[in-house]
Amino acid sequence: MSCAVNPVSPVVNGTAYCTINVFAKEKFESVIQFYSKILDLGRVSTEGDVTQSVLLSNEEMSLKIKLTIDDSKDKEFQGQRQGFLDNRKTADWRSMMGEYVTYTVSDFLVLENLLIEFGVPYQCKPNDISPSQIYSLDPQGNLVGFASTKNSISTILPKPTAVSSALSSKTISRVHSSTDLGYAVETGLNYPSLPIINLTRPQRKRSIAVMTSGGDAQGMNSVVRAVVRTAIFKNCQPFAIMEGYEGLVRGGPDYITPLKWEDVSGWNAIGGTNIGTARCMKFKEREGRLLGCFHLIQAGIDALIVCGGDGSLTGADLFRAEWPSLVSELLKTKKITQEEAQTYESLNICGVVGSIDNDMCSTDATIGAYSALSRICEAVDYVEATAASHSRAFVIEVMGRHCGWLALMAGISTSADFIFIPEEAVNPGTWRDEMCETISRHRKRNKRTTIVIVAEGALDRDLNPVTANDIYKTLVDRLKLDTRITTLGHVQRGGSAVAYDRVLATLQGVEAVNAVLDSVAGSASPIITVSENKIMRKSLVDSVKLTKSVASAIAAKDFGKVLSLRDPEFIEHYQNYLAINAADHYDPQLTADKRLKIAIVNVGAPAGGINSAVYSMATFCLSQGHKPYAIFNGWSGLTRHEGVRSLDWDMILGWQTRGGSELGTNRDTPCSTDIGMIAYYFQKYQFDGLIIVGGFEGLISLHELERSRDVYPGFRIPMVLIPATLSNNVPGTEYSLGSDTALNSLTSYCDILKWSASSIRGRVFVVDCQGGNSGYLATVADLAVGAHASYVPEEGISIDQLMQDVSNIAEAYERMDECGTETKETGKLVLKTTNASKAIDVEKLSQIMTSEAGGKFDARSAVPGHIQQGGNPSPIDRTRATRFAIRAVQFIEDNQMVVNKYRHANEVYDDAFDKVMRSTAAVLGVKGSGIVFSSVRKVYDDETDVKKRMPKVVHWQSLRSVADHLSGRKRVVET
C-alpha cells in the first residue's frame, strides 16, 4: 500500500518533522484541520497558489501539509482507505501497511474524543479496554499511529507535556463526560483558577441567568452554585433571578442580581433555595412574560436556566417560543433599541428538574427526590421502632400528588406491608379486603409491626381519594389494631440534600450551562436528565408533555396507560415490591419442575445494602418457589463449620433496613480456604445457582469458582456477583452497593467539620477517606461538600500540587476578607484517600500545610474511620439492592437450560463446553445508562488490575475535573 507521509529521518516514534502529501483540493483543508487538532499544531505559514503548502508547528514538532493535485494518486489512496475500512474488524491495519508514522501522545481520552469528533475510524491495540496504541486514518487515507509510550515495546507511560487544570490523573478514563468543563484548558495560577482568555479575539460576554421555581427541593442550591461557577469558568456573567418568575416580572437589581464566585460558597450544604422561589400568576399572562423579556434584555441576559417542576419548565419553554414576538413588541413600543433587538433576538433556555416527587418523565431521578426519600425512610425507621414496642400499626402519608414514586420506593426501602400510589388505583370494593388479608398473613407469622404508606394522591378506580383516615378506620375496625397516623408533610422537603442529590444537581448544573452555550437560535430547548449513571440532554417540551399526560390519563381512568407512562425502572420497582411483599404468603409463581436451590454468600468488607440484597433475594425466591440458602461467615464458615441454612420469611424480618451483614462476611476466597471442600458442599446441597454479594474479594471468588469448573462439577451452575463495597472499585460496574451509604456518612461528617471551621478564622480540615486504592469516595465527596481539593491514589500527592493548593487556600481566605463577612465561606476542607500517599498520612499532611501556609491558615486532621462503613443503608442502596438481587435471581433462572447438560461429572469439560459456560458466571453491573451482566472471565482478564485491586479504566475520572474547576483549584501537571 502507498504512504503519502514522508518523514525527514527514519524514525518510529516521536517524529520531529515530516511532510503530508494531499492529492485533491477538497481534502486539503480537512487534512490541515485533522493534524492541527489531533497533534495540537498551530499554522505557521502558507505558500503558493497552485501547489500549496502549509506549515504546522508547536514546540516539539513541525508538519508540512503539501497539496499536489493528482487524480490518479487520489483514487489510489481512496481505494486504500476503503480497504482499511473493509478490514476494520477482521485485520490488524499495521499488517496491511508497510510504513507509517507514529506519534507519542499523553492523553488517549482526548485523542479518542477528537477522532470521534472527526468521524474517522480507528483501531485500539492491544485491546479496547486498555490500549497502548491507537491507529487511525487521516482524510487522505494515510495510516497514522499514536502511542502512549516512547517506543512500540515500552510499557512506561510518558510524562504529560503541558500544564492543564484538567489533565489531573495518571490513570486516564476512556469515558469522557459531557459535564467536563474543559479537559485541555490552560488556567491561571491564582484562586479561583480560571481559563486564560484569548484577548486577541474579543467577543461579547454572554450572560446566563439561573432561577429556581415552583416547590423547593433539596439540591437546588447545588444547581445554582454549579451554574454560577461554570458560567464564570466559561467566561460568562452569571445572574440569579430572585423569587422565581415573580422576580423576572418585577425586574430591577433587587430581583435580577449578578453573582460572583464567592457568593455561592458553601451552598451545597444548605437546604431549600437561597435565591427563593414563588408562584407567579402574572407570568402566566402574556403581559407578565413581556415584562420578563424586557427585564432580561435590560440586564443583558440571553440565556436562562430554570430549575423547577413541570409547570415551571412549561412556562420556560413557552417564554422561549414567544421570545421573538415579545422582542418585536418591545421594539415597536420603543422600550428597546434596534441594536438590542438584534443582539437579543433569541433566548436560549435549558431546564433542570427540581422536584421531590420525581414526577418528570424521561429521567430516572429529579433533584431532591432522594433527599425526600431519605427523610421518609428515616422517619419510618424511627416509627417502626416504637411500633414494635407496642405491636402497633402506623399509616404514613407521604407527598406525591400525581406520582407515587416516594411511596413506592419507601415501601421497598422499609418493607412496608402495603402501599397506595396514584399509578395503581385500587378497586373501591375490594382494596380494604386485600390490605387486611396481606397484613393478617404478616401478623400470623409473628410480625409485630404494620406499616402502610399512602401517597397524598392515592385514589381508587372511581377517582375517589384513598386517605390516611380511610386506612386508619379499616385497620381499627376490621383488624382491631392499635393504629396511628403520621403525616410527614413538609419535613420531606427540609434539611440538607443527600450526597446523590448534590452530585446530580452539580453535574446537571454544569451540563445546563454547556447546553445553553451550545444552543442556536430556533433550536428546541433541552432538559437535563439522568439515566442510571449517565447525564443526558432530552427535549424539554416532549418530557413535559409526557409528564402532563399522566394527570390526563388519571382523569380518564386509563390506569394502564398511567403506569405505562412511567419509565421502565418505575414499573420494575413496582413489580419488585409486589414480588418481595408476597414472599411465601401465597402460592409460588413457578411450577415444581422450575424451582431451584439458590445459595447466597457475603464476601469482603461490610457495606450498606448487603442485608437488603439478602432480604430481597430470599423473599423473591420464596415468591417464585425457589429455596434460598444462606452461607454464613463466608467461605471459611462453609468449609470449617458447614455454615449453610435455608432462609425463611420469619428469619429475615427487618433485614431490609439493617446495616452490616447478618450472614457474616470476611475477605477469605475459595482458594485461600479449601475450594475442594466448597465444591463438596455445593454438590451435597445440590445448589442450582449462587449469588455472591461483595467487593473485590467477591470478584476473585467468582473468578476462582468459574476457573475450577473443569475439575469440580458442583460449580457448573449459574453464578453472579452483586458488587457491594464502599470503595466502588469492582471492575465491570460503575456502582457498587454501599458506596452511597458511605458517601452520605462522609458528607454529613464533612458538613459538621465545615461548620466548625467557619467558627474559627483560617481553619482547614484535612479528612481521611477510606477506599483502598480507589479515590472514588474522596472524589465524589469532594463534589458533594465543595472541598477545596482531594488527593487520591490514582494520582498520589506531588509536592508541587500540594504547594499550589496551599497557596490557593491562602488566597481564598484573603479574597474572603476583601469581599466582607457576607460572603464568608463555611470553612475549608481537603480530602485524602488513605492510600493516596503511604509516606504522608492526614496528620503529617495537615502539619505540612500549616507550616507552609505561613500563618495565613492552620490545618487540622480528621479521621471518620469506620463511620463510613456503618449505619443503616441509604434508600438508594436499599432499592438498588432489591433491584440487583431480583435481576440476579432472574439471571440464574434464565441460564438453567445452558448449564443443565454440563453439570454431570461424567461429561468431558472440553473447550466447547467451556465456551458455552463462560456467560453463566457473570458480574452484575451498572454501565452508562443500563444494567448489564458481564462474563467474569472477561472482566477479570481484560478489565481488572489484580495487583492494585482496581479496574483498569477509572469510570469516574472525569468527575475530578469538574470538582477541581468548581472549587477553583489550580491543577499542576508535571512537565
Residues designated as active site: 357
Q: Which amino acid is at 578?
A: L
CB 873 within 8 A of CB 611: yes
R_g over Cα of the chain: 30
- Confirm if 172 and 951 have CB atoms less than 8 A apart: no
Identify the three-state secondary structure at position 328.
helix
Q: Which residues contact 288 (CB under 8 A, 6 or more apart)?
A: 245, 249, 280, 281, 282
Residues whose CB falls within 8 Å of the CB of residue 116, separated by 6 or more in sequence, listed in order: none
Query: Which region, left, alpha or beta, applies to residue 353 given φ > 0 means left and ψ of -120 to 50 means alpha?
Result: beta
Cβ neighbors of 493 (< 8 A, separation 6 or more) are 215, 216, 217, 218, 271, 272, 356, 368, 372
Instruction: At 764, list the grid cell.
Output: 482547614
The answer to whether residues 426 and 460 touch, using CB atoms and an 8 Å cutoff, is yes
Per DSSP, the residues of 864-877 read -GGGGT-SSPPHHH
| CA 75/CA 964 separation, integer angstroms | 49
Helix or strand or coil: residue 838? Answer: coil
Per DSSP bridges, beta strands 62-67 and 53-57 are antiparallel
> DSSP assignment, residue 490?
G
* Residue 789 CA, distance from chain mean position: 20
Q: How far is it, in rounded angstroms, from Cα 425 to Cα 512?
A: 36
* Strand 597-603 relative to strand 689-694, pairing: parallel
513's CB contacts (< 8 A; 6+ apart) are 208, 226, 227, 230, 231, 234, 236, 305
Write out the three cell numbers for 932.
448489564
Q: Assign residue 463 a region: left if phi > 0, alpha if psi is -120 to 50, beta otherwise?
A: left
CA–CA dist 866, 877 (Å, integer): 18
**Pick from 509, 489, 698, 484: nearest CA to 606:** 698
User: Cα separation of 251 and 241, whole Å?
Assistant: 9
Show the CA angle centred on residue 158, arms to residues 152 and 163, nearest 5°: 145
What is residue 453's three-state secondary structure? strand
Q: Using CB atoms within 10 A of its CB, is residue 45 exposed (0-12), middle (13-18) or buried (19+)? A: exposed
Hey, which bits of 889-975 come out as E strands?
Answer: 921-927, 930-935, 944-945, 950-951
Residue from 365, 364, 320 nearest 344 by CA: 320
What is Dmax (Cα atoms) for the chain? Answer: 98
Whether residue 171 contacts residue 954, with contact meaning beta carbons closer than 8 Å, is answered with yes
The letter for the amino acid at 461 is R
| Phi (first) and psi of residue 516, to 5 degrees | -70, -30
SS3 280: coil
Q: How far apart are CA 432 and CA 473, in angstroms?
A: 10
Q: Phi, psi (5° rounding) for residue 152?
A: -65, -25
Helices 405-414, 369-390: inter-axial angle, 10-degree rounding? 50
Collect all residues with Cβ–Cβ distance below 8 Å to 933 and sequence separation of at least 6.
720, 891, 919, 922, 923, 924, 925
